[in-house]
Amino acid sequence: MGNTNTTIKGLAADIAGTTDICKVVADLSDTWAASYLLPEEEILYSLQSVRQEFSFTNRALIKVTAETSTTTKKLVERLEYKSHRIEDVKFQSTGVVDRDCELKLKVGSESFSIDIARDQEVEVKGFYKALVLLGHQQEENEQQWELARQAVSTAADTVKISGTGRESLNQQSDDTLAWMQAQYTRTHPHSYKEIVVSRVVDEEPAKWLLESNYFWAEYISRVVQLSAKSKRPSRRGSPKKIDEKLQRRIIWSVSMGKMSAAKVKDKLQLTCSLSTVQRAIRSVDWLKYKKYVEFGYEEGGKRIAS
């Protein structure tokens, strides 16, 4: 059935001419690259079309390409940030009649041009900033590594001139090697997660990132379901309608353990019992909503300025 759906989607994309136009993947567990992650690696951002996918993890760009839009045969390529510099990052916005914007970048020796659906332009602007910052950090790390190498070279010349004894020289060599290894590890990190997530939220919060709608549907369904079984069911059947700003604050506060069930009940003016609210809170996977903080939200659900 999955292969049939892939074929149908591919044919539809061919007809519409959208085979290579990517969209932001809302559920990162559904990405093609999810099957090829290394231990402690996680996908932070993913762009996917019918024929190809670009998944940016905390340590690499994983590109997955299908030979055609209707095949399930795919090629997986991996470019580690540790050994591949990100350079020449460019963003081309949409014109009046354009149906896609474009993100261009160079990773190592390979150049990429990614077409992205017009309606997701705002989200991609935030990611463009993240890639620029990642490239800047890589450049700074390389400069620090080069300075470390020059320092060791200068120190080696000094030792030769001073005519230090053999035992002392061996000890200095060991110390120098250990120091160089430490410097290399510091300037060539495996993970760049903090850099990527620091600017991925733009002026308008990305829906795929905040997931407030997904959360609210989940939470309301739990309250309604539990209220139906409660001795004191809610007369209204669901929490009152509140604005997104308050939603974010409640989600952040509860996910960080800073808001009690009683406070939630009061904030939402729930008429069901407190125990019902407590069970609803316990039944929600709050861990996944902590990405509010990781992706640019500080205490109180207020967005950190770009």
Residue 248 within a domain:
yes
User: Does 144 fall in a domain?
Assistant: yes
Position 141 in a domain: yes
Specify whether 101 is located in the same domain as 8. yes
3-state SS assignment for residue 84: coil
Tokens (6 digits) for 44: 């932070």
Q: What is the pTM of this model?
A: 0.58
- The residue from 163, 198, 233 where one domain ends is 198
For residue 75, the enclosing domain spans: 2-118
- Report, as an integer, the average pLDDT of 13-18: 46
**What is the count of structural domains for the chain?**
3
Per-residue pLDDT at 12: 43
Q: Which of 64, 25, 63, 66 is nearest to 44 (CA)?
A: 25
pLDDT, one tens digit per residue, over 255-284 is 666 778 788 777 777 666 777 677 767 666
∠ CA 181-184-190 to the nearest 5 degrees? 120
Same-domain check for residues 110 and 138: no
Which pLDDT score is estimated for 209?
37
Are 36 and 134 found together in one domain? no
Q: Is residue 179 part of a domain?
A: yes
**Is 21 in the same domain as 112?**
yes
User: Which residue would you say has higher pLDDT here, 226 or 305?
Assistant: 226
Question: What are the tens digits of pLDDT across the range 170-209?
Answer: 676 677 777 778 888 888 888 888 777 765 544 334 443 3
Final residue belonging to a domain, choices 76, 97, 118? 118
pLDDT tens digit string along 231-260? Answer: 444 444 444 555 556 666 776 677 666 778
6 with 110, same domain: the answer is: yes
Find the mean pLDDT for residues 10-32. Answer: 70
Residue 152 confidence (pLDDT): 74
Residues 62, 137 within the same domain: no
What CATH number corresponds to the domain at position 15? Answer: 2.30.29.50
Answer yes or no: do 272 and 190 share one domain: no
Q: Who wins on pLDDT, 25 or 246?
A: 25
